[in-house]
Copies of this chain bind each other. A is one copy, B any other.
């Protein structure tokens, strides 16, 4: 029971899709979730891959999410689109919003999209990568639950609030980063707790505001931003963009409405897409070639790599060899695909 199971990407797709649809998640929602989950597993990010499948289902079983939600797209301005996810999951909302966002960016040069009333279980990078794969420069900002103290404070207020950025390349996958405003992801601290390992200083404070290396005390206290006050400023910026500007919720508002215990609370996101051919650097090819000159300079130094380079390696490997997931996780998803919910209902 402690081994691993290897699945081809097609097998992983079939298994995840079957588990989701066996529990009332609509075909459209399930297709978008499955694509996101399998892509993330494929690219070597298991914490946001198939590991999340039970959470998607549990949140539906518990009546938190609307498993058949149909996102509604609003055209707010020549450069702004909004998607109301209608209490559903973020992958389908992103999928239906991506095309109008990209069209607006090409027409106006730059465009923005807010997504509200969505449950965001996923990594943020697939969202900007998809836009960069279409030749656009992209940003994404998503709030979370109140886990991180503001600079100088001791009580959780901000989410771990990642921002993601993607830059297209003429050949190969885009350059993409997706980074939390917190010093560590909450999941990472939870893994340290599970494994009985101390966390580094600077990652969290206990509930009295004192520095701690105890993951349990840190989870009960507050996480800290990365890079001191600068990370705290980025966390504040993400709250303002995803929460106030997009007309969604701040992390603390989301946490007040729904507890974090079994997956993300309802939330919102803000994205920006830019057409590199419209900003003054010449043709898209000229702008991207200029970018390549910088990447060559980075890679010319020993010990460097570009953001997402590790994911590109994992992707190539997974396409050839499939993905390897824990036996326990495989068995749980397989049971869910058979309609079994015992574990989820107890969870």
- B-contacting residues of A (Cβ < 8 Å)? 74, 76-80, 82, 107-112, 114, 116, 137, 149-155, 157, 165, 167, 175, 177, 179, 226-228, 230-231, 233, 236-237, 239-241, 243-248, 250, 252, 270, 272, 274-276, 278-282, 287-288, 290-291, 293-294, 297-298, 301-307
Contact = CB atoms under 8 A, between A and B. Distances in A.
A301 B303 CA distance: 42
Contacts of A112: 109-110, 274, 279
A78 B109 contact: yes
A160 to B, nearest CB: 12
22 contacts: A77-B108, A77-B110, A79-B111, A109-B111, A114-B279, A150-B301, A151-B304, A152-B304, A153-B303, A226-B228, A227-B227, A227-B231, A233-B307, A240-B294, A244-B276, A244-B291, A245-B274, A247-B280, A247-B287, A248-B281, A250-B293, A250-B297
One complex includes copies of this chain to the number of 2
Given A110-B110, A230-B226, A278 B77 contact: yes
Contact of A116 (B167, B175, B280): B280
Contacts of A290: 243-244, 250
A284 to B, nearest CB: 10
A109 B80 contact: yes
B294 A244 contact: yes
A165 B304 contact: no
B281 A246 contact: yes
Among A114, A227, A231, chain B packs the most CB atoms within 10 A around the CB of A227
By DSSP majority rule, is chain A's interface helix, strand, loop, or mixed? mixed
Contact of A152 (B231, B288, B303): B303
B80 A245 contact: no
A287 B110 contact: no
B302 A153 contact: yes
Interface centre among A77, A246, A278, A291 (most CB of B within 10 A): A77
Contacts of A116: 280
Contact of A237 (B165, B252, B281): B165
Contacts of A245: 137, 274, 276, 279-281, 287
A87 B138 CA distance: 30
A86 to B, nearest CB: 14
B226 A153 contact: no
B227 A279 contact: no
A77 B109 contact: yes
Given A247-B280, A281-B247, A294-B239, A155 B307 contact: no
Contact of A307 (B236, B275, B297): B236
Contacts of A307: 233, 236
Contacts of A237: 165, 167, 177
Given A108-B110, A244-B291, A252-B297, 10 more contacts: A77-B109, A77-B275, A109-B112, A112-B279, A152-B305, A154-B303, A179-B230, A236-B298, A239-B294, A240-B291
A306 B150 CA distance: 9
Given A107-B78, A109-B80, A294 B243 contact: yes
Contacts of A288: 244
B110 A80 contact: yes
6 tightest Cβ-Cβ pairs between the two chains A and B: A227-B227, A77-B109, A153-B301, A247-B281, A80-B109, A79-B108
